[in-house]
Amino acid sequence: MSKKSNIIMKYLSGKLRCAEFAVTNACIARCTFCNIWKQQPKIFVDKDKALVAIDRMADFGVSHMCLTGGEPLLHPHIVEFVEKASKRDINNAMLIAAPQLLLRDEMTKRLAAAGCDLVSISFDSADPETLSRSRQIENLMGIMENALTAVRHDGLQSMASVLIWNGNADKMEAVCAKAVELGFDYISLNYPTFSESDVYELGGEGIDMSKESLIQALEVATALKETRKYPIINLAGSMRNIIDYLKEPTSAKFPCRGGVRVMFLDWFFNMHPCMQLPDVLGCIHDMEESDLFLPVCNKCNMSWYRDLSAFFHGARSLPLIYEAFRTAGKFL
Ligand code: SF4
């Protein structure tokens, strides 16, 4: 079965799940909106246990997976993880903060051969100096251009993963235009959040912004999405859901299905509802599918979880599914 058919079949049978799997807390970047790079000791998931974990997730219905870190490309067995996901028909993306690692060890070739469906690279500013400062990587824009050339050459698809932060909240269109100029195939917008998790520490001065600036940035992003000028994958309906949530949490149409339909596996193999909450649902190696449970939650605006959750609300999700098909025709 193809990965696309797997997603469609699982969705129609009510079994579809999506997971993020953080394979290491080691990172090269020193981002101002994340504290994971400061963590000690550095942990890299055991290869064999990680392969079993991917199998178990596939058995639970996971058909889309984002491999993340830290910096997932620092894991010596990352290509084997991609290969395993592909063998189980899991559509897989990798979130990368340090694109220079794509230029080493024939990485783009090996990822393409292993069946990587998307490399998503953190891209937070159209201005080269701000971009370097946000991640503390010198000449990041130049590195990114080279990495994208290799990505295209080896037939991989790329996505600019844009975190909305203080450095770009009033420059949404400039960031999208630059992403397209650099040659990214898609753009995803990530909504800033401070996590409550000790394992996945998100937050910091870079995203310490007012609710009003975030709402404004999302309103601009929604309007840009509707012009179809830029290949933004977030759905307008989902961004509007977050705007409603930010204005008044109870007015969000689509609460989160974190822990049930979308989930987060950390480098200790503990399954959490999301990166935001400290709650542990179980260890992936011992847990049962029935342990994947959390009452619908409306506690934060975290993008990946909220955007994907919006598809899991029965008839209410139909307009979003329609929007996804309508815009996929142009960009996907
Ligand atoms: S709303 Fe936020 S805290 Fe609640 S499950 Fe979703 S991502 Fe986690």
Ligand 1 atom 2: the closest Cα is on which residue?
300
Helix, strand, coil percent content, the chain, rounded in steps of 5: 45, 15, 40
Atom of ligand 1 nearest to the CA of 298: 1
Q: What is the DSSP letter of 89?
A: T
**Which strand (E) or helix (H) includes residue 264?**
strand 262-265
Q: What is the pLDDT of residue 33?
A: 79
pLDDT value, residue 222: 97
Best of 256, 257, 263 for a ligand 1 pocket test (most atoms within 8 Å of beta carbon): 256
Q: What is the pLDDT of residues 209-225, one digit of tens each?
A: 999 999 999 999 999 99
Going by alpha carbons, the residue nearest to atom 5 of ligand 1 is 258
Å from CA of 106 to ligand 1 middle: 37
Is there a contact between 96 and 120 (Cβ–Cβ < 8 Å)? yes
Ligand 1 centroid, distance to 299 Cα (angstroms): 5
C-beta separation of 65 from 90 below 8 A: yes
d(CA 298, CA 153): 42
Fold of 3-331: TIM Barrel (3.20.20)
Distances (CA, A) of 179 to 74, 124, 135, 185, 225: 24, 9, 17, 9, 14
pLDDT in tens, 68-108: 999 999 999 999 999 999 999 999 999 999 999 999 999 99
- CA 32 to CA 30: how far, in whole Å? 7
Q: What is the pLDDT of residue 331?
A: 45
Phi and psi based region of residue 190 (left: phi greater than 0; alpha: psi -120 to 50; beta: remaining): beta
pLDDT for res 240: 97
Contacts of 204 (CB under 8 A, 6+ apart): 31, 32, 33, 34, 35
> Which residues of the chain are under the pLDDT cut of 50?
331-332
Domain residue spans in the chain?
A: 3-331
**255 CA: nearest ligand 1 atom:** 1
What is the model's pLDDT at position 318? 95
Instruction: Tell me the CA–centroid distance for residue 109 and ligand 1, in Å.
Output: 36
| Cα–Cα distance for residue pair 61/63, rounded to 1 Å | 6
Pocket (CB within 6 angstroms of ligand 1): 256, 258, 273-274, 276-277, 297-300, 302, 305
CA-to-CA distance for 175 and 181, rounded, in angstroms? 10
Beta-carbon contacts of residue 238 (< 8 Å; ≥ 6 apart): 254, 306, 307, 310, 320
Distance of CA 126 to the CA centre of its chain: 20
Contact 101, 135 (CB under 8 A): no
Secondary structure (DSSP) of 104-138: STTHHHHHHHHT--EEEEE---SSHHHHHHHHT-T
